[in-house]
């Protein structure tokens, strides 16, 4: 008797057909692989965010925002391009977040530093919890 897994997601980009296309899978998704790819994307985002925070440019901010939106749509409709588009998206979004952070930091001194440390602390804690096995992904998780 075969067991049918009912996978679902709250992400609107992931439809039922996403999980039914098992014939296109060439690589097994693991927690370690997911954590590593998330960490690389985070590094790219924070790096470009730091650069644009220190060299604020409105044209660059707008270009990163529009470019990030285009790359996000490309990734949604061409999922097999994700190994290329995800790092590009992380870089563009980092550029945009750096510029926005500069503007908010100009209005409210110190707010950006608090937000960055809290966000990174939570993300890194969760990644370590997943990698260590403290949080175990289940069929519907």
Residue-wise pLDDT tens digits, 49-102: 999 988 878 899 999 999 999 999 999 888 889 899 999 999 999 999 999 999
What is the rounded CA–CA span in Å between residue 80 and residue 95? 24
Task: Give pLDDT tens digits for 92-128.
Answer: 999 999 999 998 998 999 899 899 889 989 988 988 8
DSSP string, 23-89: GG--S---HHHHHHHHHHHHHHHHHHHHHHHHT--HHHHHHHHHHHHHHHHHHHH-GGGHHHHHHHH
For the chain, the structural domain boundaries read 30-132
Q: If you search the block for the tokens 């992380």, which residue do you land on? A: 90
CB 83 within 8 A of CB 33: no
Q: What is the pTM of this model?
A: 0.72
What is the rounded CA–CA span in Å between residue 73 and residue 21? 20
């Amino acid at each position: 008797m075969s067991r049918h897994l009912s996978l679902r997601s709250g992400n609107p980009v992931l439809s039922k057909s996403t999980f039914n296309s098992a014939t296109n899978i060439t690589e097994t998704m693991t927690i370690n692989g997911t954590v590593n790819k998330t960490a690389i994307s985070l590094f790219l985002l924070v790096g470009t965010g730091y650069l644009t925070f220190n060299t604020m440019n409105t044209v660059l901010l707008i270009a990163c925002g529009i470019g990030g939106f285009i790359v996000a749509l490309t990734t949604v409709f061409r999922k097999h391009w994700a190994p290329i588009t995800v790092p590009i998206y992380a870089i563009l979004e980092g550029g945009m977040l750096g510029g926005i952070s500069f503007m908010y930091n100009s209005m409210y001194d110190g707010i950006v530093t608090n937000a960055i440390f809290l966000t990174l602390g939570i993300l890194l804690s969760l990644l370590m919890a997943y990698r260590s096995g403290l949080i175990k992904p289940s069929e519907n998780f």
